[in-house]
């Protein structure tokens, strides 16, 4: 979970933002007074999130996350695969252990979200060897890879609070739109983010030639800048810093940056308007809005 | 699951022996008449088994299984990790989908078995870089890696058939002993098995310098043959066929082969005597004995 360093010494920071468990707790509070049982659901969602990060880092070969070396880069691929498997299994054990009346439905939602995440990651992996990925596919990939678990977090909170189906659905939609906004912002930060804040090297997504949302939009824009970007993306060998700066500029020139910003803003607005259908408890609503702004309004 | 070739064409054979789902069905039949619901449990166990094979092959770098290339060697490590994750999740979905009264307890047993399997595999991975592994650790590793799921298969069958706790426990013990016997035999075949039957190259475990049960017994035997084997295992570079033949002989000379054969036989006997405590339906009992002999009496 990132609470210790590689030698097992406790760390005071670095465990991530815990957005998803916050969403579980706030979604529950939005609906009713919350008992302690909902923390099981929050823990389960965070375990699934960490499972997916650890396995994704193996698949993507990413050496850093949250300013720190990834599990596989410290302990090897076999250990990272095993740790991910154990976290996924533990998530389900935590959810089922207490025998909460909502646990069985929550587990079905969580497992369905996991399958969507895996499908999204499988699409992402396949994009690497394809040159014809369009924005629609890229958005569908994001629905699975990022939005499914944020949606699930809110649905689980609602289920544990005994929400009726319409409020549960509205909270789920809030989470889904928030997840989409989150990923557009994350992809923008993957190109233009401040390394000191993102914990990743500058231009890291371009360096790895990732087909992130703004890049796909640029590549399929039909513009001269898009075609130039395509040539850079398909060039042999590593890209120099000059080439990376050019690539970033081409993404912007081809409209990828504006498109991604616009989509992020629209999803954030849609998320916030979903809260109207929830008829949320006022303090929980304010906190949900604050989390939404935290993840979707990061310095762009 | 191995039902198709790499191009997606259906194959008539090659999907494995299906020992674990057979154990689920037969354990249920040993206790009572069986309804169709128990097939969910059988499917879940086989999905977990395939999950573990696919991830283990990634970790161990094994290129062949069941005479065929492994998932990662055909489709790459990322796809193999994702497929394993999806099978693990699907196992739990299959078990919970029908709302069977035994499903929740069965899921707890299955998840516990998965955690034991992961712990066993983690021990196995750690053994590779250690030179002081003793038989006790090696046996503990096998309890997790192999026996836990065979035990679980029998427990799930018993639970779905409504068995009382003593019969459930006895069937679980049967499965555990059978799993232990299975692994001793498998490790013997990993050294002396006929490649045409095992689906693996001759001496494959020695070539990979695996610390299998007979090898660990030989290495810690305190015999001259054991010390000579240790030197071979720690030699630089790949072992020649002559060296592999010598290594196999040294395992036998140091007593590893006889020890593993003896332990396999004792576990098979213990497994069969557990069936006495089950008071099993006679035809199901005969079939359980036949499965036990199939997995533990493979040509040694």
Question: Minimal CA–CA distance to A264: which of A165, A192, A168?
Answer: A192
Exposure b/e, A22-46, CB count within 10 A at least 16 = b: bbbbbbbbbbbebeebbbbbbbbbb
Tokens of A56: 């994704």
**Mean pLDDT of all residues in chain A?**
93
In this predicted model, which residue has the larger pLDDT, A197 or A126? Answer: A126
Sign of CA dihedral B262, B266, B268, B269: positive
What is residue A41's predicted lDDT score, i.e. its pLDDT?
Answer: 98
pLDDT of residue A203: 87
B69 vs B75: CA distance, rounded Å: 10
pLDDT on residue B293? 93
CA B57 vs. chain centroid, Å, equals: 13
pLDDT surpassing 70 at residue A300: no
Q: Which helix (H) or strand (E) holds A69?
A: strand A68-69
| A261 falls within a domain | yes
Instruction: Tell me what the mean pLDDT of segment A147-170 comes to.
Output: 97
User: Could you give the maximum distance between any two Cα atoms of chain B, in Å?
Assistant: 59
Q: Which residues of B touch A104 (CB under 8 A)?
A: 96, 99, 104
Burial class of residue B163 in the structure, from the number of CB atoms within 10 Å of its CB (0-12 exposed, 13-18 middle, 19+ buried): buried
Helix (H, G, I), strand (E, B) or coil at B274: helix
What per-residue confidence (pLDDT) applies to A34? 84
For the residues A102-130, what does the mean pLDDT come to?
A: 96
- Residue A299 pLDDT level (bands cut at 50, 70, 90): low
Q: How far apart, in whole angstroms, are the C-alpha atoms of residue B149 and residue B180?
A: 11
Contact B77 A58 (CB under 8 A): yes
B59: nearest CA partner in chain A: A78
Q: In this structure, is residue A47 part of a structural domain?
A: yes
For residues A34 and A231, the model is more confident at: A231
CB pair distance less than 8 Å for B78 and A93: no
CA distance, residue A191 to nearest chain B CA (Å): 24
d(CA A202, CA A242): 12
Could you tell me if residue A160 is inside a domain?
yes
Whole domain around residue B170: which residue ranges? 19-282+289-296
Residue A279 φ/ψ region, left for φ over 0, alpha for ψ in the -120 to 50 degree band, beta for the rest: left
Nearest 5 degrees, angle CA B14-CA B19-CA B23?
Answer: 155
Other CB atoms within 10 A of residue B266 CB: 14
Residue at A107 is within a domain: yes
With a cut of 90, say whether residue A35 has pLDDT above it: no
CA-to-CA distance for B277 and A64, rounded, in angstroms?
Answer: 55
Task: Please indicate, yes or no, if residue B10 is contained in any of the structural domains.
Answer: no
Distances (CA, A) of A103 to A113, A151, A174, B206, B297: 15, 17, 21, 47, 44
On whether residue B68 sits in a domain, the answer given is: yes
B81 and A CB contact within 8 Å:
yes
pLDDT score of B258: 97
Residue B204 lies in a domain: yes
Residue B146 is given by DSSP the state I
pLDDT of the residue at B69:
92
What pLDDT shows up at residue B202? 81
ipTM: 0.93
| Chain B CB contacts of A84 below 8 Å | 81, 85
CATH number of the CATH domain containing B238: 1.10.600.10
Q: What are phi and psi of A22, to 5 degrees?
A: -60, -40
Of residues A78, A82, A96, nearest to B104 (C-beta) = A96
What's residue A14's pLDDT? 65
* Residue B64 DSSP SS3: strand
Encoded tokens for B221? 């035997």
Low-confidence spans in chain B with pLDDT less than 50: none
On whether residue A2 sits in a domain, the answer given is no
pLDDT at position A1 over 60: yes
Q: What is the pLDDT of residue B2?
A: 83
Q: How many domains does chain B have?
A: 1
Give the gyration radius of chain A's Cα atoms: 19
Supply the pLDDT for residue A200: 72
Does B131 touch chain A if contact means CB atoms closer than 8 Å? no
**A210 backbone dihedrals φ, ψ, rounded to 5°:** -70, 140
């Amino acid at each position: 979970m990132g609470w210790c360093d590689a030698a097992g010494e406790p760390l005071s920071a670095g465990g991530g933002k815990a957005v998803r468990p916050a969403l579980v707790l706030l979604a529950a509070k939005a609906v009713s007074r919350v008992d302690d049982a909902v923390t099981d659901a929050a823990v389960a969602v965070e375990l699934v999130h960490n499972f997916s990060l650890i396995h994704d880092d193996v698949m993507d070969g990413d050496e850093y996350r949250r300013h720190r070396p990834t599990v596989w880069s410290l302990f090897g691929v076999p250990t990272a695969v095993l740790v991910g498997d154990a976290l996924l299994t533990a998530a389900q054990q935590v959810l089922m252990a207490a025998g909460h009346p909502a646990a069985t439905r929550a587990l079905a939602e969580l497992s369905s979200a996991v399958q969507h995440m895996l499908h999204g990651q499988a699409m992402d992996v396949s994009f690497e060897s394809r040159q014809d990925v369009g924005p629609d596919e890229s958005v569908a990939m994001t629905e699975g890879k990022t939005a499914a678990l944020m949606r699930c977090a809110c649905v689980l909170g609602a289920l544990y609070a005994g929400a009726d189906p319409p409020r549960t659905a509205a909270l789920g939609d809030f989470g889904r739109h928030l997840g989409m906004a989150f990923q557009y912002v994350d992809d923008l930060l993957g190109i233009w983010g401040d390394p000191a804040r993102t914990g990743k090297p500058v231009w890291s997504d371009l360096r790895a030639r990732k087909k992130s949302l703004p890049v796909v939009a640029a590549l399929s824009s039909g513009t001269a800048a898009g075609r130039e970007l395509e040539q850079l993306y398909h060039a042999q060998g590593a890209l120099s810093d000059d080439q990376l700066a050019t690539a970033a500029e081409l993404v912007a020139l081809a409209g990828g940056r504006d498109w991604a910003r616009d989509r992020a803003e629209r999803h954030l607005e849609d998320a916030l308007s979903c809260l109207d259908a929830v008829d949320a408890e006022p303090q929980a609503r304010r906190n949900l809005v604050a989390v939404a702004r935290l993840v979707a309004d990061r310095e762009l």
